Amino acid sequence: MPTKSESEKPRVVEYLYDKYRRSELSDGVVTNDLIVEAIRATGADLSTANPANFLKDIVRGKNANSFWPERLKTDGVSARQRYGSKRVFQFVEFVEGQVEPFPDLYPVEEETPTHQVQSASIPFAARRLGRAEETWLTQIAVNLRLVETQLSIFSPARESVRDVTHLQMSLKTQPEIDAVFLASYGASSDLDSATDRYVLVTCEAKQIGQRILVDQIREQVAKAMEITTDIKEPKIDGVKPMAISVVERDFGGESEYAIYIVEFAAIERVQFANQWAPSEEGEQLYSMPLSAISKTVYRIKPPIAGLNG
């Protein structure tokens, strides 16, 4: 059964969509003030206290398509989150070949490998105090070195990785980046040769039932490029986005929550600046391809509260 928020929001979306069709929204962008106006105009039983999260609560769930208004589906119109300058979301037309407003582009597939990982290195008390939150999921991934494992064992570039260093959790940018790592790569697997390049690794964490949001990851790449522009030592040559999510999988006939990691191809700084860097003139960032180059399901043993315990 839909929640009050899920049942009330579609008519607010349709009210705003009518404005979009009348060309009253600049570039299809909806702001905080417009959402408050729409809630009041439609009489929707929704709070106006936090309009910034209006679309987030719709699109992050795997049932997002179910709650999107039918008229917009028929017209081939979806939406993406926007950040800064009081922006909340933006209406966008379906791209060629798109059949639903919020496709799940990176699901776990039958051929996705499973890798079992120990959790005994996390103290027992900590494992019992875990909660079903993105911050705890990120902490599990950091403590069990899942990003390092993904890049060292499953990544196509595993032979040239030098080291992976965790830098920070919960980087409070817009959008927020759940964890940041620095990976160094060489031209070959020869450990004596000099390191050739450094890549900032951004991680987006999703709990069970939540989708990997493509445009959110693109925005994270853009923000990571921006905040590392002036770093000279080491020079950051690109950004590698990754997604970490909780998934439900069948192991020997029993259902269990596991951690699913998707590694995307690195976005090179020079190419980003030339082709996809955000500007006032266009929406080129949202054409930046995100190519998933490795995927792994991590089965965690012993169980951890907030994940599978």
pLDDT of residue 1: 45
| 53-83 b/e (C-beta count within 10 Å ≥ 16 → b) | ebbbebbbbeebbebbbeebeeeebbbbbbb
pLDDT at 194 over 70: no
In this structure, are residues 208 and 247 in contact, taking their beta carbons and an 8 Å threshold?
Answer: yes
What's the token pair of residue 140? 């599990």
Integer Cα distance of 186 and 157 in angstroms: 10
pLDDT of residue 84: 84
At position 82, the amino acid (one-letter code) is R
* CA nearest neighbour of 234 among 175, 165, 134, 300: 165
- In this prediction, residues 52-57 reach a mean pLDDT of 90
> What are the tens digits of pLDDT across the range 108-162?
999 999 999 999 999 999 999 998 899 999 999 999 999 999 999 999 999 999 9
pLDDT at 99 over 70: yes
- In this prediction, residues 81-97 reach a mean pLDDT of 93
List the alpha helices (DSSP H) in 1-160. 4-21, 32-42, 56-59, 64-67, 70-75, 124-128, 134-143, 146-149
pLDDT of residue 3: 57
- In this prediction, residues 85-96 reach a mean pLDDT of 94
Integer Cα distance of 239 and 268 in angstroms: 7
> What are the tens digits of pLDDT across the range 270-297?
999 999 998 876 789 999 999 999 999 9
